[in-house]
Amino acid sequence: MKQRLFQAIVYISLCMLPAAVFGQSVADTSETPAAIESSVATKNVAVKQAEQVVVRIYPNPAVDKVTYTFPAGIQKHLLQVTDMGGRTILNLIVGNIGTQNTINTSSWRSGVYFVSINSSTFSKTFKLMKQ
pLDDT attached to residue 27: 42
Q: Is 34 part of any domain? A: no
For residues 63 and 107, give the distance between their C-alpha atoms in angstroms, rounded to a whole number: 10
Q: Is 40 part of any domain? A: no
Total number of domains constituting the chain:
1
Nearest CA to 129 out of 103, 102, 110 is that of: 110
Q: Is 9 part of any domain? A: yes
Q: Is 109 part of any domain? A: yes
More confident position, 28 or 128: 128
Whether the Cβ atoms of residue 77 and residue 119 lie closer than 8 Å to each other: yes
pLDDT attached to residue 21: 47
Q: Could you report the per-residue pLDDT of 83-97, keeping only the tens digit for each?
A: 999 999 999 998 877
Report pTM: 0.60
Q: Could you report the per-residue pLDDT of 13-69, keeping only the tens digit for each?
A: 555 545 444 444 444 444 444 544 444 444 454 445 545 678 899 999 999 999 998
For residues 84 and 117, give the distance between their C-alpha atoms in angstroms, rounded to a whole number: 17
Q: Is 49 part of any domain? A: no
Q: Is 110 part of any domain? A: yes
Residue 108's domain comprises: 2-22+54-130
pLDDT attached to residue 114: 97
Residue 125 pLDDT > 60? yes
CATH classification at residue 101: 2.60.40.3080
Q: Is 45 part of any domain? A: no
Q: Is 83 part of any domain? A: yes
The arrangement of strands across the sheet holding 65-69 comes to 56-58, 65-69, 100-104
What are the backbone dihedrals phi and psi of residue 105, each rounded to the nearest 5 degrees, phi first?
-110, 10
Mode of pairing for the β-strands spanning 77-83 and 65-69: unpaired
pLDDT attached to residue 28: 43
pLDDT attached to residue 71: 78
Please give the mean pLDDT across all residues of the chain: 74
